Amino acid sequence: MLAEKVKGTFMELLNSEVTEIKDNQIFGSFKVEPIHLNPNGIIHGGVHATVLDSIMGLAVVVARPDDKLVTTMLNIHYLTALKDGTLQVSAKVIHQTNHTLTTEGEIRSEDGQLVAKATGSYRVINK
């Protein structure tokens, strides 16, 4: 189901893919390309934000597959500057009500170093 949701989307354009869903947590990877870098030669913060929002958004899709949801808040802590590699991303829903879900996500380097940590809120928009 998730492969179809990602196909042809911005997440696919960024070289991101879902690798596993386990215990209500979603895991993926992100291959850094030169186009993902900022003028300082490190991964652009907007790329981190997009990858985190995407993986956390997929976590809410797994939790609520019959609902349509949108991001209402995204908070990111950038912890390490990197310029290459295949990064590991993960996310999970940590709280939900009938109309909102709260998630947390992270990006780690190939050697397991925490690169960025995020939380996000998503609202159900079924209409």
Query: Tens of pLDDT along 17-60?
Result: 888 999 889 999 989 999 999 999 999 999 999 999 999 999 99
The residue assigned the tokens 């609902």 is 67
pTM: 0.90
Alpha-carbon distance of 96 to 14, in angstroms, equals 28
Are β-strands 16-22 and 86-96 bridged in parallel, bridged antiparallel, or unpaired?
unpaired
Residue of higher predicted confidence among 17 and 116: 116
Q: Are 94 and 104 in contact (CB under 8 A)?
A: yes
Alpha-carbon distance of 102 to 73, in angstroms, equals 9
Alpha-carbon distance of 57 to 2, in angstroms, equals 11
Share of the chain above pLDDT 90, in %: 80
